[in-house]
Amino acid sequence: MLFPSEVFIFLFLPIVVLVYYLLLRNKKLAKNVFLLIVSLLFYAYGEPVYVFLMMLVIIIHYFSGILLKKHSREDSKKKLIVFLTICIDILILGYFKYANFIVDNINTIFHANIPDLNVALPIGISFFTFQAISYVVDVYRDKEITQTNLLNIGLYISFFPQLIAGPIIRYKTIAKEINERKETWKDFSLGINRFIIGLGKKVLLANQFGVVADAVFNGVAPDGNTNTVLFLWLGAISYTLQIFFDFAGYSDMAIGLGRMFGFHFDENFNYPYISKSIGEFWRRWHISLQTWFRDYVYIPLGGSRVKSRSRLIFNIFVVWFLTGLWHGANWTFIVWGMMYFVLLVLERFCHIDQKLGKYNHLYVLFFVMIGWAFFRSESLSQALSYLAGMIGIGAQGFVDGGTIEYLQRYLIYYIIGILCCFPYLKRADKVLNKSLVYNLIYIGGMIAIFLVSIMFIFSNAYNPFIYFNF
């Protein structure tokens, strides 16, 4: 079920809110049971079969937590429990996400003829699997957070706001709020506000940039493309804006929905396109994923406190190979991850970001766009054909009438989108938010964003979610 859809906004969410706040008022246990049920129904709406897979993951990690608590003084048994649980997680994720990819590569490399498995990818499996892994590892590290209530573990893993596209929530972040949260009108109103902001980012900006990006990328084939140089650059810029407003918009909606029910999720984006180094970019982009890899992969490998440079490079390599692989079963994602591995190593040991001085911001944006070209392409050959066309190789001239038409039609979206990549509005809000006139204008603006977004939704316009694929 999509957040920006008639079913969610006008049926699912109003019913959930009314039942939660009117029928279940002051009934904490009933509220949690209700949220678990509606979360499972939310997932089953789009994945009726795979809801049982998620329930299996919940049960496995519940019993793993119990066993870890039971053997709290036996470190060898605790390690074995964690190891076996993570192996199960990896097998589940590996089968559903990478089985087709593995078979295709075996057939290509060894000229084998293994039949296609045609395994369907459950929506959000990468997100709820990573949350489950973080729970069992955190229980191993800190037995005080062990949850002996199956309901609470189920709600943590399946809670519908962040279930299918994050942010990745740590159990300890919301452990107390599961049973002791206090819903307030302030949180509810701020949650609505945040949801509307995310809705606007997704419907009014990301979807518009997506139309242009699709038009450009669909004109690129592995053996050439039918686009001009300027159109290819426009496509790269469009996808750079689309993926940010798509994913950041979803995160805003998830954070807002969580707050409406008394949960406070950590931020997932912090104006990443203002970054002046690749390292800074990844501290601002998809924050929950990067902190997950830092805490559960990079630091356990030794982090940056290792004795040799080669070991540190190896640690960075593992993190970015896995980051690329996490995003999808395609060599494009692995190359994308490896590009960032190389850039981060160069920044750490050669300080290229510092040597570029005032041009470091352009350096970041350039490589981010190059990376998104790999990210968006269906294959490595298509990505290379696209990048070659951006410098004139294989392109159909420099500019054509179609490019100018797209620029004219979507110019206002590009202006608004680029401005929203910088914290100008946030700074203005801090300065002006005590003004009555400003508050009235702000409320009017939120209502306008909501109404216009609804108009776009009812028009059955382009409305995918990029990160649903992961």
Residue with tokens 């706001």: 161
Answer whether 279's CB lies under 8 Å from 212's CB.
Answer: no
Cis peptide leading into 167, omega within 30 of 0?
yes
Give kind and range of the element (H or E) at residue 221: strand 220-221
Degrees, nearest 5: CA angle 349-353-359: 160
**Those residues with Cβ within 8 angstroms of residue 69's Cβ, 6 or more apart along the chain or in another chain:** 139, 143, 146, 148
117, amino acid identity:
L
Q: How many CA atoms lie within 13 Å of 129's alpha carbon, on the beta-carbon side?
A: 22
Secondary element (H or E) of residue 256: helix 229-260
Amino acid at 222: P
Backbone angles phi, psi at 335, to 5 degrees: -60, -40
**Residue pair 220/227 in contact by the 8 Å Cβ criterion:** yes
Beta bridge partners of 221: 224
Closest CA to 99 of 109, 90, 87: 90
Catalytic residue among 71, 264, 286, 327: 327
Give the whole-angstrom CA distance, residue 197 versus residue 207.
14
Q: Are 261 and 183 in contact (CB under 8 A)?
A: yes
Q: Of 211, 209, 219, which is closest to residue 412 (Cα–Cα)?
A: 209
Active site residue 71: no
Q: Can you tell me the distance from the alpha carbon of 1 to that of 46, in angstroms, rounded to the nearest whole number?
A: 6
Query: Tokens 């356990």 identify what position?
Result: 300
- Residues serving a catalytic function are 327
